[in-house]
Amino acid sequence: MQLTLESSLFRLHCFCFPQGSFSSIMEFASSIGILWMKGTLERNNTKTGIKSSQRIVIKNREALRKLIIFTIIIYDQDNLVVSPCSQKIIFDNHCLAMHTTFKYGKDHLTIGKAIKIATGKQKGILTADTIARIQASQQSVQKIVEDDNTVYGINTGFGILANTKISEADTRTLQYKILQSHSVGVGAPVSVEIAKLMLITKVHALAQGYSGVQLQTLERIIWHIENDVIPVVPEKGSVGASGDLAPLAHLFLPLIGLGEIFIRESETGNEWMRIKSSAALKKFNVNAIQLGPKEGLALINGTQFIVAFAIKAVQRLHNCLEAADIIGAMSLEALTGTKAPFDERLHGLRPFEGNKLVAQRLRLLLDNSAIMQSHIDCGRVQDPYSLRCMPQVHGASRNAWVHLKELTEIELNSVTDNPIIFSSDDTISGGNFHGQPLALPLDYACFAAAEIGNISDRRCYLLLEGKWGLPMLLMRNVGLNSGFMIPQYTTAALVTENKTLCFPASADSIPTSLGQEDHVSMGSISGRKLDKIIDNLEYILAIELLSACQAIEFRQPLKSSAILEFAHEYVRKFVGFAEEDRIFAEDINKVAGIIKDFSFLENVNAFASSRKMELNNNFPAFDV
């Protein structure tokens, strides 16, 4: 019998021999307790497959004993390769699952992989050849010190003090002082996930072997990642050039026993406790590290604060863009709009990829809608722009999103500290730490996210006007009730707040280090602004979704498409139809919750897949 697991990267065929005989794979799967995650089991010729990006989870050890996997065949496009199983079966407190490993400094790091490592779904390791490169680079630094060759940051001061020579005896002390002196961040700490992504991306950059760090330093950072011992990093203080100096200094204070860290309050809980690093090291019975020459500088030079925010922005904005198409389609149905402006021929005449994708999605989302059919000859000539121009507006934001994604993945696999060590005789003091390559697309993405909120607010307003058969303010008995009038006040406020956050931080620069660092990117501010805009956007979309679900019920008994009916029913699991006024903030927060945690999109996509409908088919660039 053959079990097939397909992922977005490759296809695995696991040949399995269960104990006993089974008439079907479903019977076998049931017998050993296999859970099919986020997908449906289906027949595919003589094979049985799961759609992309899925995994097999086996419930317990007893179930595993019934299953023997003796080989894995990996299909790489059309090439058939036979290899030993490269996946590990790991048993933890929750499940027994197949996990792949990521090789720091060697594999290509993507946004999806970084998030998987941060969430414990993938493990990062150092391979033997990577370790050899790390050690060779560290030995080059040591030779520079021993030969007394003057190299910036190894035996000189920093910034404006670059011409101040440091004695060999003080090169180690210098590394401690740079972490201490640059720890000047203020404000609330960044989220644990952002700090963890900073650690992951720093390991990957340093592991490429051009930074001169010790192996034990990288191993300790990986220990922090794997054990969820996450440094406390203040959100403010970086100007995004010479690297994210202040946040990275705070990030690595725990290596030398200083600063603060977050640890889980319990092994299985999601609550975090903030304690002194010295107490944490004592708790885990580990010692502070003795930093070597250049290590402090290698740790704090780099764009890992900026890139961590970019990673989360790509993930979260993608979720909002996908949800916005679904929610916009629901609003269009409630307002009895037409799908004619989404015609493939029209968008072939102006072939921006984002526009074409959104038009395709809207066509599929509205396919076989009884509501659409009911007014096909209604005489309305045009819909307002917020309905008719969704492909152009949503699509433009998607194009901006792709730009951010592509540049973020370049940065993820770059070496961004300074100086770069090619050998003991070949070092370059350059500017790879400068955040401008991400600062600009992050600001561009701010506009893209804000505009999705702007057009969503316009649709909220349209739903309230009492046009085209809908009751004014989406309630029958208004006057005594205010209906959905006031939730739109919130979207108006959030849209305006987003506009104020759209001033491009990268358009400004203030000299630092007495003029040595005379142009800086401010990319860290770009990243934080985008994070706030997406926070607001999630609430705006939640209010439109809440309003669209209310409005579409006034079209009953007519039904929308199967996908949009499912989306409506899913929302109704959390909030009901409003016959009269209530505390709508509670409804807004519930609906925002299913947008923020991706469950709304995941469930709608799963339903679409179960109907053999891939909304983003032929547009791979727009996947995370």
Q: What is the per-residue pLDDT across 71-96, written as a single tens digit (0 to 9) for each?
A: 333 333 333 333 333 343 333 333 33
Q: For the chain, what is the radius of gyration of the CA atoms?
A: 27
Question: Which are the catalytic amino acids?
Answer: 152
Helix (H, G, I), strand (E, B) or coil at 269: coil
Pairing of strands 88-91, 96-99: antiparallel
In this structure, the dihedral spanned by the alpha carbons of residues 536, 539, 545 and 546, taken in order and rounded to 10 degrees, is: -150
Q: What local confidence, expressed as pLDDT, does residue 243 receive? A: 87
pTM of the complete model:
0.86
CB 323 within 8 A of CB 601: yes
- Angle, alpha carbons 417-423-428 (nearest 5°): 45
CA distances from 144 to 137, 168, 210, 421 (A): 11, 10, 14, 10
Name the β-bridge partners of 81: 74
Looking at residue 570, what is its pLDDT? 98
Q: What is the DSSP letter of 114?
A: H
pLDDT of residue 172: 81
Which of 130, 190, 207 shows the shortest CA–CA distance to 413?
Answer: 207
Provide the token pair at 529: 């602004």
8 A C-beta contact, residue 291 and residue 176: yes
Residues of the chain with pLDDT under 70: 1-99
Pick the CATH number of 316-622 from 1.10.8.60, 1.20.200.10, 1.10.3470.10, 3.40.50.720: 1.20.200.10
Strands 47-49, 2-6: pairing is unpaired
Please state, in angstroms and rounded to a whole number, the distance separating the CA atoms of residues 494 and 537: 8
Confirm if 439 and 505 have CB atoms less than 8 A apart.
Answer: yes
In DSSP notation, 434-453 reads --HHHHHHHHHHHHHHHHHH
Question: Which uninterrupted H or E stretch holds 336?
Answer: none
Closest CA to 166 of 303, 254, 256, 296: 296
* pLDDT of amino acid 534: 98
Closest CA to 198 of 167, 170, 168, 235: 235
Instruction: List Cβ<8 Å contacts ≥24 apart for 123-127.
Output: 123/99, 123/226, 124/200, 124/203, 124/204, 124/222, 124/225, 125/101, 126/207, 126/215, 126/218, 126/219, 126/222, 127/103
419 upstream amide cis, omega within 30 of 0: yes
| Residue boundaries of the structural domains of the chain | 2-98, 123-302, 316-622
Q: Name the nearest CA neighbour of 121 among 194, 205, 226.
A: 226
Closest to 262 in 3D by CA, of 287, 234, 243 = 234
Phi-psi region of 469 (alpha: psi -120 to 50; beta: other; left: phi over 0): left
One DSSP character per residue, 460-521 reads HHHHHS--TTPPGGG-SSBTTB-TTHHHHHHHHHHHHHHHHTTS-GGG----BGGGTB----
At the topology level, CATH places domain 123-302 in Fumarase C; Chain B, domain 1 (1.10.275)
Instruction: Give residue-wise pLDDT tens across range 195-205.
Output: 999 999 999 99
